[in-house]
Structure 1
Amino acid sequence: MTITLLTIGKTDSSALQNLIENYTARLKHYVRFEMVVIPDIKKTKNISENQQKEKEGEVLLKQLQPADFFVLFDEKGKQFTSVGFADLLQKHMNSGLKNLVFAIGGPYGFSAAVQKRANAKISLSKMTFSHQMVRLFVVEQLYRGFTILRNEPYHHE
């Protein structure tokens, strides 16, 4: 299985980027993983938030194949414990799924078209986090999930 993380815009903080790269390198020991950074939409001063979401959504959807299982990180999604998230990863691997694609939206979230295409939604918390910080949380939780599945000593209950 390949896991892809689609994100909108580059990470501005070098400290965050270093941590993301660290967990990405660790994660690659367990699964084929890639992060695809979709460039920020240019000239957003004269368009509405909804128009920006639509434009980001068009680019995001072009990254998908019909057979991809597409999961949004969205505050209205289902919440998991780390062990529950690991179980979800195992379920997808056991199903023979080839591509598991996660997406983190831009600052205004996802367009209606992206929401419609999604197979599932996951919430990291009832709180709202910056879309840049969520990247770190996601790659860390993916790494944690695989260490849980391998009974490695990273996660403590």
Structure 2
Amino acid sequence: MTTALYNRDILRLAASIPHHRRLERPQGSVEKRSPTCGSRVAIDVVLDGEGRLAGLGQEVRACALGQAAASLMGASALGRNGAELAEARDALAAFLDGKRDDPGEWPGLDIFGPARPYSARHPSILLAFEAVAEAAALAGARR
């Protein structure tokens, strides 16, 4: 069972997290921690004049699943607005919980299908998406 969760593709993503550094002057920052496994992410964002993500920094201390999720989030987050980030978070959560059959429009999230039966893994997978949506909302509220 572990093989299905921690396969070559998950490990490849975990080793290639984009924007893997904190921003010097973020407009919004959020740190999230999974109480289940101790995985942790810190996300910094900068929004452009239209409220779209123009800058992203992340520090990820998580299991391979959490790292892979941060990699997928970081690869497609720039240019998205807060509503799109929240929609991706909500779709992924519903997919993991079995409330929807697909993970939504965000590229690559179907890789987490094998983790659906393992609810203890869900918080780590969701961390980066929760944090970026919250950081964007915080940055938007400060504008």
TM-score (norm 2): 0.32
Task: Tell me which protein shows more strand as a share of its residues.
Answer: 1
> Greater CA radius of gyration, 1 or 2?
1
Report the TM-score, using the length of structure 1 for normalisation: 0.30
